[in-house]
Structure 1
Amino acid sequence: MGTSEYVVPAGWAGRVAFVSGGVSGLGFGIARALAEAGMRLALSYRNEDYRSKAAAWFAQNGHEEPLWIKLDVTDREGFAAAAATVEAHFGAVHVVVNNAGVSVFGDTAEASYADYDWIMGVNFGGVVNGVVSFLPALRRASGRRHVVNIASMAAYLSGPQAGIYTASKFAVRGLTESLRYNLVPHGIGCSLVCPALVATNAWDSAFRRPAEFGASGFGDVNADELTKFGKAFEAGMDPLEAGRRILAGMDADRGLIFTHPEFAEDFAAIYQDSLAALPQEDAPAERLEVERMRRAANKAALEGKSISINDLT
């Protein structure tokens, strides 16, 4: 979807969206795409310089200045306060985009508790905090509403150098796919977004690691190696292009949004490997019935029925 092919989705003007990490990288790309659609924005940030540059873009392009909220996504009290502030300021909240994350590379077999606590706390815990804090406001609002959780292609594709990052994105995937079933009866959409390479500085998280998580099992950061790796991100998709694709997927109420096309080979291999791993035998009729009921309950949930455990047996 090139820029010349892009049509701004209609029907979102005046809707209120909160984007975590919305002043740089992919988050800023998403924020700009939402602004193009006429949405009113609240953006969280940590870096004052990034916030200032983002503010300049909104002013230069004639968009309403966002509500700026300084926030560490691991701060649950701060997140709850942010949700209350956004709702009080705008009168409603219709969209929450859980975007902020960190990526650290190293041998997972050498990882420390601090490595797990930091990466999982930001990448998965930050999404949890956004969901728990903002869903009550979304449920009080009316009309088009949506939860967008940013994961990564790492939610599907594992590798040897980003095990904890991958685990965190698998967790975001599982949470989002399940949450979608629960939100349909409330008229709230829910999308899992799995971007690949985007032209951002997402690669340099290790340089900004908080001191309280300093006891890494990965050893000292090799700045030269990491900077060399970061050059690969220069080939990434423009963040605004990715943001527009995400908005288009949200507008279409897609549960799964892929922004990049280059993974057919990987998904074909996952499909073949998964089928090959299944035992080649017939399952008992009783178990087949349990799985039939599970599939039927999932289908009914996506059609708007509120599902209880009684629907599974």
Structure 2
Amino acid sequence: MTAGGDGLSGTVWAGARERRVRTGGVELCVAELGERGRPTVVLVHGYPDSKEVWSEVASRLAGRFHVVAYDVRGHGRSTAPRPLRGGFTLEKLTDDFLAVADAVSPDRPVHLVGHDWGSVQAWEFVTVGRTAGRIASFTSMSGPSLDHFGHWIQRRTKRPTPRRVGQLLGQGARSWYIYLLHTPVLPELAWRGPLGRAWPRMLERAEKVPGDGYPTSSLPSDAAHGAWLYRDNIRRRLRDPRADAHAHAPVQLITPLKDVFLSERLYDDLEEWVPRLTRRTLPAKHWIPRSRPDRLATWISDFVVSVEDGGPKAPAPGRYADRFGGRLVLVTGAGSGIGRATALAFAEAGARVLAVDRDAEAAARTAGEARGRGAAASWAETADVSDEQAMEKLAERVTTEYGVVDVLVNNAGIGLGGSFFDTTPQDWRKVLDVNLWGVIHGCRLFGRRMAERGQGGHIVNVASAAAFQPSRALPAYSTSKAAVLMLSECLRAELAGRDIGVTAVCPGFVNTPITSTARFAGVDAEEERRLRKRAARLYGLRGCPPERVAAAVLRAVARDEAVVPVTPEARVAYALSRWMPGALRRIARVKPPL
């Protein structure tokens, strides 16, 4: 096997170096970005793609790594074997990988990344003996090992239970295209005809893949040749899977939860085959190299760096660590109460946490504690959410220094009690400026950047049970929180088509510092102090900690829930507001014990 010299041969990757690697009767087209001498990351594409599927991810990785991608034999600018039958076996694909690895990184093992059929082949690379020592790590997405898949099927057929049979039938239905690809001639005719012409539009509509010139013009021949990947390997490996298919390098598994082709249940037993496994999940469909390049680049970078530093660090201890690890989460009002608890809960899930509060010392304390709780990174920022200009500067600074926020939690708020006629216009402005306009500023400034990025995200607006429970004692506060609830519902409808979820979290009586800082209209300072103490004592007796709300926030983001009442009284009030609003109106007439 020999490697050709470098040259610019028309690759669509800006600034890429291109070379040809000859092996096994074919010539592979290999593109490189980034400085040689840095850790080498090899990207392997799937079906019916070419290496260009990786262009967005590769450009994001090139600043830190030597990035390599090659067209699999018969795809893109690589030549096809002759004859096609028998030319795409996993053994020959392994020969190709080793030839590329030897050409681009002869002295150091490479970090392997595969998607779809690129992941299927890479599982072969990372589990066969002849590649031991050549692979430093493997990141897999949307493509299982055929050997592991074969054992998965055998276990469910030998010991069927209703659950196992359901899993088999479910994956069988998802695999409908595999049966068609085994038919002679038909797939080739379809791809070279109407399917090949329609495929870019289908990806854009069904998978929300941006229509930015991908896929390339080689798609019809790539797809026609790639059908032999299935024909040469699927039946043979599923009937007789290898018993020694254990990974000899650390593996990071990234599972898109909305993948219409592969069930996440396929990976239930993966720890048996991979002793050093890191799991990640994200709410996306199959083609994540195009739809979620930022998220993939971050996870790949973090994993490669951890391996280079001596091995993947222990996973974050919190629940949902597979979902939020490495994601950028911004929480307002993070200096205390629900905001602090939420920031720390995301930290325990391995997120990168931005703690924002108007109290700089409180924000710094939360950020410091987040680092000790498992956050991938944490920072403190100072801002008054009611100040439009301050929030605009914050959004610009955050985007420039840390990137686009993945999860925004608009939590900052203040309390105000007192009758409507005792509440002055100044009182109204203060409450609405913080409780409503603070949320509007956050949604507008950070939500817009999420939408413009086009890679999904989530916004959580902390409202209150007071949003749907009228009260004669809380007219201003209840109005502000009801507006937050309706804003959340409207924004959820608008952003649904952009894969951005919006949740309104509505706590009931929660023991937080807001009770000791709340203002009461129409009373003097001494009476206000008495009312604060009484409210704090009553909320303390209720005994609901802010950590319960924080857990609900993480669960709501993971499940993409719309409205989340927290605490029993909030759930009862929400149910009554929907089914018996008259009962809530009668309750609202009762004078509170304060």
Normalised by the size of structure 2, how large is the TM-score?
0.42
How many Å apart are 1:71 and its aligned residue?
0.5
Q: Is the 8 A contact 1:21 1:44 kept in 2?
A: yes
Aligned equivalents of 2:485 and 2:506: distance in 1?
A: 9
How many Å apart are 1:101 and its aligned residue?
0.5
SS at match of 2:461: strand
Name the residue aligned to 1:253.
Answer: 560
CA deviations over 1:180-216 (Å, ceiling 9, x no partner): 0000111111111101122211113346xxxxxxxx8
How many Å apart are 1:263 and its aligned residue?
4.3
Aligned counterpart in structure 2 of residue 152 of structure 1, from 456, 464, 468: 464
Aligned counterpart in structure 1 of residue 524 of structure 2, from 220, 237, 241: 220
Name the residue aligned to 1:128.
Answer: 440
How many Å apart are 1:45 and its aligned residue?
1.3
> Measured at CA, do residues 16 and 142 of structure 1 come closer, stay the same or move farther in structure 2, by a change above 3 Å?
farther
Name the residue aligned to 2:426.
Answer: 114
Q: Are residues 1:266 and 2:573 paired?
A: yes
Aligned counterpart in structure 2 of residue 13 of structure 1, from 301, 317, 325: 325
Read off the aligned partner of 1:219 and give its amino acid letter: V
SS at match of 1:35: helix
Read off the aligned partner of 2:400 and give its amino acid letter: A
Question: Considering only aligned residues, what root-mean-square deviation do their CA atoms show, in Å?
Answer: 2.2
CA deviations over 1:124-165 (Å, ceiling 9, x no partner): 010011111112221233544101111000011111211100
Please, which runs of 5 or more residues in structure 2 have no aligned partner?
1-317, 584-594
SS at match of 2:417: coil
Q: Is the 8 A contact 1:25 1:239 kept in 2?
A: yes
Aligned equivalents of 2:550 and 2:572: distance in 1?
A: 25
Read off the aligned partner of 2:402 and give its amino acid letter: F
Name the residue aligned to 1:91.
Answer: 403
SS at match of 1:44: strand
Q: Are residues 1:192 and 2:192 paired?
A: no
Read off the aligned partner of 1:76 and give its amino acid letter: E
Q: Are residues 1:141 and 2:453 paired?
A: yes
SS at match of 1:189: strand
Query: Higher relative contact order at CA 8 Å, sep ≥6: structure 1 or structure 2?
Result: 1
Aligned equivalents of 2:353 and 2:453: distance in 1?
A: 16
> Measured at CA, do residues 82 and 33 of structure 1 come closer, stay the same or move farther in structure 2, by a change above 3 Å?
same
Q: Is the 8 A contact 1:43 1:69 kept in 2?
A: yes
Aligned equivalents of 1:57 and 1:40: distance in 2?
A: 13
Structure having the larger proportion of residues in strand: 2
Read off the aligned partner of 1:259 and give its amino acid letter: V
Normalised by the size of structure 1, how large is the TM-score?
0.77
Q: Is the 8 A contact 2:349 2:375 kept in 1?
A: no
> Measured at CA, do residues 188 and 52 of structure 1 come closer, stay the same or move farther in structure 2, by a change above 3 Å?
closer
Identity %: 27
Aligned equivalents of 2:328 and 2:408: distance in 1?
A: 9
Aligned counterpart in structure 2 of residue 237 of structure 1, from 538, 541, 544: 544
SS at match of 2:381: strand
Count of residues in Structure 1 that have an aligned counterpart in Structure 2: 263
Q: Is the 8 A contact 2:461 2:503 kept in 1?
A: yes
Q: Is the 8 A contact 1:145 1:187 kept in 2?
A: yes
Read off the aligned partner of 1:172 and give its amino acid letter: V
Aligned equivalents of 2:582 and 2:524: distance in 1?
A: 41
Aligned equivalents of 2:448 and 2:350: distance in 1?
A: 24
Q: Is the 8 A contact 2:355 2:366 kept in 1?
A: no
> Measured at CA, do residues 133 and 263 of structure 1 come closer, stay the same or move farther in structure 2, by a change above 3 Å?
closer
Name the residue aligned to 2:369.
Answer: 57
Structure having the larger proportion of residues in helix: 1
Q: Is the 8 A contact 2:456 2:498 kept in 1?
A: no
Read off the aligned partner of 1:260 and give its amino acid letter: T
SS at match of 1:161: coil
Name the residue aligned to 2:352.
Answer: 40
How many Å apart are 1:178 and its aligned residue?
0.8
SS at match of 1:101: coil
Aligned equivalents of 2:427 and 2:328: distance in 1?
A: 35
Q: Is the 8 A contact 2:347 2:373 kept in 1?
A: no
Please, which runs of 5 or more residues in structure 1 have no aligned partner?
1-5, 208-215, 277-313
Aligned equivalents of 2:467 and 2:480: distance in 1?
A: 8
Please identify, of 11-20 and 51-60, the stretch whose mean Cα deviation from structure 2 is larger: 51-60
How many Å apart are 1:240 and its aligned residue?
2.1
> Measured at CA, do residues 252 and 174 of structure 1 come closer, stay the same or move farther in structure 2, by a change above 3 Å?
same
CA deviations over 1:198-256 (Å, ceiling 9, x no partner): 2211113346xxxxxxxx85232421222122112223422223211211111100111
Name the residue aligned to 1:162.
Answer: 474
Aligned equivalents of 1:51 and 1:275: distance in 2?
A: 42
> Measured at CA, do residues 86 and 108 of structure 1 come closer, stay the same or move farther in structure 2, by a change above 3 Å?
same
Q: Is the 8 A contact 1:32 1:240 kept in 2?
A: no
Q: Is the 8 A contact 2:329 2:407 kept in 1?
A: yes
Read off the aligned partner of 1:80 and give its amino acid letter: E
> Measured at CA, do residues 236 and 156 of structure 1 come closer, stay the same or move farther in structure 2, by a change above 3 Å?
farther
SS at match of 1:244: helix
Name the residue aligned to 1:211.
Answer: none
